[in-house]
Amino acid sequence: MFSRLYVHVPFCVKKCNYCAFVSNTPRENELAEYPDLLLQEVRLRASAVEPVASIYFGGGTPSLLQPYQLARLLEGIAATVEIRSDAEITLEANPGTVDLISLKAFLDAGINRISLGVQSFDDHFLDCLGRIHTAAESRRAFDEVRAARFGNVSLDLIHSLPGQSLDQWRTELRHAVALSPEHISIYGLTVEDGTLFAHRYPVDSPDLADDDLSADMFELADELLTAAGFEHYEIANYARPGCRARHNSGYWQRDGYLGLGVAAHSFLREGYGVRFCNPGTVMEYRQGVVSGQLARVDTEYLTLDAAMAEYMFLGLRMADGVDLHAFEREFGRSPETRYGSAIADLVRLGLLTRKGSTLLLTLRGMLLSNQVFARFL
């Protein structure tokens, strides 16, 4: 079953230079017709939806939807499936696409959390990334988010940008803290194939941060943000007490979620779990929805072994770690039985630590998380 909804809006004003997400500039009518397609999809999949604990509008740039479109969409969803009264409903907003009037209207439509894609407070880096907004526009957008009375706001920042120094990164973090959001997500730049960055910055480019500098930036974020009262509750996420992202936490806890829209991924809690995604183009998606035969693409029925591995590496992403008893209740065997030597090695290397019945990543383990997770595959 699904207890969370992810809604993918695959449209952007223009493609950013580093972006490998499924997003494009909308063609004529695509943005206008999209909410209706989403609603038709909800109706197709509604029978597998439990009372919804969270909805996340991501993209792409979901803030390109007009507030009235989003209001109608949320009304339509609520008329089709049950949304819990305390549901967290997040809208990703690009600072270049919102103003006080639209933000107030988004709040009235039912959005209760904004995730603002700031990425950097330095115009040089924003230009390098190909973002459509300046740092001043991000600050204005943040002020307007507050003026619209959103009490739960997250900022995204990226480190290890081409040519970025540790001091510049420190300044970025200080700007973010000064705005006093409830939540901050921090990502290290990865140069993805097929992006403009992949041409501009080959792997051996001297402009890219090396592993040591990236590690220093990761550790500096931990140091500054925890000193400022944020809890480092997941590898890439920091929150004021009580302000963790509930929707994203659901991903790491393996809650079932239904992905609506072009290329949206879903996780069905059935058996050991089923992962699948929607068709990757607007045309294929439209055809599937309109015909009532929306294909599941890349369907993966998890085996017991795959589900146990997922439980470990998703659970370890969170500072709460993996409760060994909970694992045993879920799978009928202990993690030590299945991963004994891997766990012992990782503890010896200082990447994992044990507190009572909980297994946790150390800060160094968070930094080298891909190497840790590979041991559970």
Q: Which residues bind ligand SF4 (CB under 6 A)?
A: 12, 15-16, 19, 21, 23, 59-61, 94
Minimum CB separation of residue 366 from ligand SF4 in Å reads 24
Minimum CB separation of residue 45 from ligand SF4 in Å reads 24
Minimum CB separation of residue 271 from ligand SF4 in Å reads 33
Nearer to ligand SF4, 13 or 78 (CB): 13
Minimum CB separation of residue 16 from ligand SF4 in Å reads 3
What is the C-alpha separation between 114 and 62, in angstroms, rounded?
11
CA angle 319, 112, 8 (to 5 degrees): 80
Cβ atoms within 10 Å of 126's Cβ, excluding its own: 23
Cα–Cα separations (whole angstroms), residue 11 to 31, 55, 127, 276, 292: 8, 18, 20, 21, 23
Nearer to ligand SF4, 117 or 256 (CB): 117
Nearer to ligand SF4, 122 or 255 (CB): 122
Nearer to ligand SF4, 48 or 132 (CB): 132
Minimum CB separation of residue 263 from ligand SF4 in Å reads 12
Nearest to 165 by CA among 237, 214, 121, 235: 214
Q: Is the backbone of residue 288 left (phi > 0), alpha (psi -120 to 50) or beta?
A: alpha
Cβ atoms within 10 Å of 205's Cβ, excluding its own: 11
Cβ-Cβ contacts under 8 Å for 337 (sequence gap 6 or more): none
Minimum CB separation of residue 97 from ligand SF4 in Å reads 9
CA terminus-to-terminus distance, the chain: 25
Minimum CB separation of residue 92 from ligand SF4 in Å reads 8
Minimum CB separation of residue 18 from ligand SF4 in Å reads 7
Nearer to ligand SF4, 12 or 312 (CB): 12
What is the C-alpha separation between 217 and 215, in angstroms, rounded?
5
What is the C-alpha separation between 225 and 237, in angstroms, rounded?
10
